Structure 1
Amino acid sequence: MDINLSRSEPPFEQVYKNLFLGLKNNTHQHDQVQTTAIESKDLPLVDLARLVGGSEEARESCKREIAKASKEWGFFQVVNHGIPSYILEEMTREQKKVFREPFKKKMSDNCMNMSLSPGTYRWGTPSAKCLTQLSWSEAFHIPLTDISSSKTHHVNNLSSTVTQFATTVSELADKLANILAENLGHKGSSFLKEICLPSTCYLRMNRYPQCPKYSDVFGLMPHTDSDFLTILYQDQVGGLQLVKDGRWIEVKPNPDALIVNIGDLLQAWSNGVYKSVEHRVVANPKVERLSVAYFLCPSYDAIIQSFNDAPLYKKFSFREYRQQVQADVTQLGYKIGLPRFLTCG
């Protein structure tokens, strides 16, 4: 297979040519990507300034809004979140630089100039068995342990910016997680803080290249997040869609907001009170899309269980959950997730 490693774009069409040939020859007629959303909507908007400068009534109102959106949407957006705009803008600039490096260099991770573990750079979907399971995207996965260890190595603009972003967004994630825990009656509980350490959380820088096959593939295939909480900073291109009331809706980008969504672990821990909602990114034929996500994750040995008298989900460790997800992806090409752990399953 002749792949030009000097160009920056991942070789999607060359590597996955058999999947595209199957579509062309009508041998995969079920491979039809439906990306048309019913409508475009604004996510519930929460102004976090009330948590700091507001009255007690304003603070409690803000917390109720966060919990309500987590129950009814599984998604919401926050403004006045405490992350300076210059950090977000610099994050976008540095992302563009690193993703424009030659594909060969990205594969080696050398362009990061950080102490990153092998395999941090990922693209496409190696487990894809059909086009609906192929994600037309590339990403750098950055464990926060790598960010802290990079302080003893050469520090460039990217690593400095990532460090600033990770530090501020992790504080925001802790704050939101504590509010959601309090809403369940766990006021003062240190459970999430004890199991979700900087060493267990990570960032993912995403790029969705222009896609000439946009009607055949997703930018990111439909999924739920396998964590407690995700915080997303995205550009204004759009393309994020989620399921609301059984229908796909398009999320309107907000330049002043960060997007927050509930993950599988928080749905299980809350006994289904908070919703981990299926979402996806549609491919764009004209422009690239950039985003960076922070994932609030526990240690692999952390036990996830609801303290409800009638738990919906079996008790499981994060390690067991990840292993089951990986087994399903390898065998089926897609994730099953929480339904595997239902008590009535």
Structure 2
Amino acid sequence: MTTLPQISLAKLAADATPQQERERLRLACEEYGFFYLEHGIPKEHIAEAIQASRRFFALPQSTKERFGHSAQDVYPATARGYSPLLGEMLHPVAGPDQKEMFDLGIENERDRRPFGGCTLLPDDSLAPGFARSLLALQAVVVTEVVPKLGMALADLLDMEEGWFRRHFNPPTVLQRVIRYPSTGGTAGKHTDNGFFTLLLQEELPTPSLQVWFGGRWVAAPSLPDTLVVNLGDMLQALSDDRFKSTPHQVVHTGPAERISLPFFIYPDIDARLTSRNGMKTFSAAEVMLRNFDSIWETGNGAGRARELQ
């Protein structure tokens, strides 16, 4: 592999999806578990969110920690808010990650289910544009990208008509902003445990994301007007292991800090899903809560991290 496959969201969402694009997507899912997606999100939305996030992370540590996990009125508390450098550990052998981050989700004060509710976010007087730009970006991703890609994947799985809308109405979204410090940012090797992840990266010359492919780590640089998609453990299970949830890590050695904007996409938290052939059945809530317990409570890492030596 010299580069990941590149897929057009517009072609996937066309009334008559070109067979060639569908087959490119199938190959990406079965062989790589990663691909670039030409997305159509306005560049200014992304740039505004990155700059507002950089301003937030530049605030005094004591100010950022006012929005930490202990201040969040959600369950689990670790699903929302600020986490400092060395606050999360994705792989137990690698140790705590050299990154700081802020998590939010679909904001709904009436939703008291796991991973629902509202995030305590800094207002504009403290972090200008932070909440507004992130939520605006979330709205575009959730309405314009997630359904189109999700329905294309459900079609490849040969799920019945309406399957994606039934189980992702609404989706559970874990939106994250990550700051990797210069010359030493890390995220330990892991798999994502959801349906799929959408990653918007700064277009910096030094690649940081690394994908495990062919027995070695392969760099996945940023490409203009694309986001990186990786499949999660839930989707691998729903495909009866035809699709790949591929291990990945971040090693940031560039001279400047890096801002990344991932969206972890899961089914509705109440969903109970069964693969097309009936070989795998699982509860979305149980899978998500077990993963959070592994990361934040038992220290066993994220996704299938324990399988990765």
Q: 2:272 pairs with 299, 303, 307, which one? A: 303
Further displaced range: 218-227 or 259-268: 218-227
- 1:101 Cα deviation from its structure 2 partner: 1.0
**Closer/same/farther in 2, CA of residues 186 and 131 from structure 1, 3 Å limit:** closer
CA offset digits 1:290-340 (Å, max 9, x no partner):
11011111244322322315x2x4x22123223433444444532464999
Aligned residues: CA RMSD: 3.1
- Change in Cα spacing, 1:318 to 1:337, as seen in structure 2 (3 Å) is farther
Task: Please report how far the alpha carbon of residue 116 of structure 1 lies from its aligned counterpart in structure 2 after TM superposition.
Answer: 7.8
Counterparts in 2 of 1:321 and 1:337: CA distance versus 1, 3 Å: farther
1:22-37 to 2 correspondences below 5 Å: none
Distance 2:177 2:303 in 1: 24
* Aligned position for 1:177: 150
Between 317-326 and 180-189, report the one with greater CA deviation: 317-326
Gaps spanning 5+ residues in structure 2: where? 110-116
Classify the secondary structure of the residue corresponding to 1:275: coil
Aligned match of 2:201: 234
Counterpart among 138, 142, 159 of residue 100 in structure 2: 138
Deviates more, 1:257-266 or 1:179-188: 179-188
Equivalent position amino acid for 2:275 in 1: S
Cα offsets for 1:141-172 (capped at 9, x unmatched): 0111269968xx96652222122211111131
Separation in 1, partners of 2:11, 2:92: 47
Matched, 1:325 2:286: no
Residue of structure 2 aligned with 1:188, choices 148, 154, 161: 161
**1:289 and 2:254 aligned:** no
CA contact (8 A) 2:170 2:268 kept: no
**Aligned-pair distance for 1:41?**
3.3
Output the CA distance in 2 between the equivalents of 1:271 and 1:339: 21
Shift in CA distance, 201/106, structure 1 to aligned 2, threshold 3 Å = same
Matched, 1:205 2:177: yes
1:316 partner letter: F
Provide the residue aligned with 2:83 in structure 1.
Answer: 122
- Residue pair 1:141, 1:203 contacting (<8 A) in 2 also: yes
Verify the 8 A CA contact 1:43 1:252 in the aligned structure 2.
no
Q: Which whole-Å CA distance do the structure 2 matches of 1:67 and 1:285 have between them?
A: 33
Change over 3 Å in CA distance of 1:297–1:129 after alignment to 2: closer
Residues 170-209 of structure 1 deviation map (CA, whole Å, 9 limit, x = unaligned)? 131121111011112125233x333334472121011101
Partner of 1:49, secondary structure, is: helix
Asked whether the 8 Å contact 1:46–1:76 carries over to 2, the reply is yes
| One-letter amino acid matched to 2:216 | R
Query: Partner of 1:307: helix, strand, or coil?
Result: coil
1:112-133 Cα shifts (integer Å, max 9, x gaps) = xxx9856511132456896612
1:219–1:281 Cα contact (<8 Å) kept? yes
Contact 1:229 1:295 in 2 (8 A): yes
* Contact 1:48/1:62 (<8 A) preserved: no
Task: After TM superposition, list the pairs within 5 Å mapping 1:216-231 onto structure 2.
Answer: 219-231=186-198
- Out of 275, 281, 290, the residue aligned to residue 244 of structure 2 is 275
1:15-37 per-residue CA deviation (whole Å, 9 max, x = no partner) reads xxxxxxxxxxxxxxxxxxxxxxx
Tell me by how many angstroms 1:285 deviates.
Answer: 6.2
Q: Percent identity?
A: 26
Distance 1:125 1:200, change over 3 A: same
